[in-house]
Amino acid sequence: MWNYEKRLQYPVKITQTNPKIAQVIITQFGGPDGELAASMRYLSQRYSMPYNEVTGILTDIGTEELAHMEMICAIVHQLTRNLTPEQLVESGFDKYYVDHTLALWPQAASGAPWTATYFQSKGDPITDIHEDMAAEQKARTTYDNILRLVKDPEVCEPIRFLREREIVHYQRFGESLRIIQDHLDSKNFYAINPEFDTRSCCK
């Protein structure tokens, strides 16, 4: 169950449109290391996770990623509102516009559509948490790459906030990995997969 709160996690108030940079930033909506993939990754992985701390972190970070997706969409929307046909052609946003007008659609900067193949839900806690830690770093790098291209402080500020959250999430997943390993055989973490081999039918 989810409840909506009618505000952004961090304010987005952009006064100058910039369709060129919007085409880059949209990758954090529907790209390989974007917020939609992040949210779906964690919210998918949590069902078979056997440790309450880690199920909690997957649920709460997966939820926060939805709020980040909303911030990215707000940024792209504000960067592309009220564009004229001339501005569309000039900025190269015409290729997006012809399929989606000025609506939001999850795609990478390259135009590749969002796909569930951007993430894995492997059903092994060590494997999944390693993927999650890598995902946070990949998203952090993407924000670093975006920040090199953005000059407008009204765009930079919310992007910097999102970048910092990747680092905090990475930290929490690191702690989650430690919690998982504390439950396992310290001489061989890989002796069993606790999402499969400890079910009652296998005992």
53 near other proteins, judged by CB under 8 A: yes
Burial code (b: 16+ CB inside 10 Å, e: under 16) for 30-47 equals bbbbbbbbbbbbbbbbbe
* Structure token digits, residue 77: 């929307």
Nearest Cα neighbor of 91 from 36, 35, 19, 12 is 19
Which is closer to other proteins, CB of 90 or CB of 175? Answer: 175
Among 74, 102, 126, 156, binds other proteins (CB under 8 A): 74
Angle at 6 between CA 2 and CA 10, to 5 degrees: 100
CA distance between the termini of the chain? 33
Q: Nearest approach, Cβ of 157 to other proteins (angstroms)?
A: 13
User: Which of 48, 50, 56, 189 is close enough to bind other proteins by CB under 8 A?
Assistant: 56
Decide if residue 16 touches other proteins (CB under 8 A). Answer: no
* The only residue of 1, 5, 84, 110 in contact with other proteins, by rule CB under 8 A: 5
In one-letter notation, the amino acid at residue 134 is A
Q: Is 154 in the site for other proteins (CB under 8 A)?
A: no
- Cα 85 to its chain centre, rounded Å, is 32
| Residue 123 binding other proteins, by CB under 8 A | no
Residues near other proteins (CB under 8 A): 3-12, 53, 56-57, 60-61, 64, 70, 73-74, 77-78, 168-169, 172, 175-176, 179
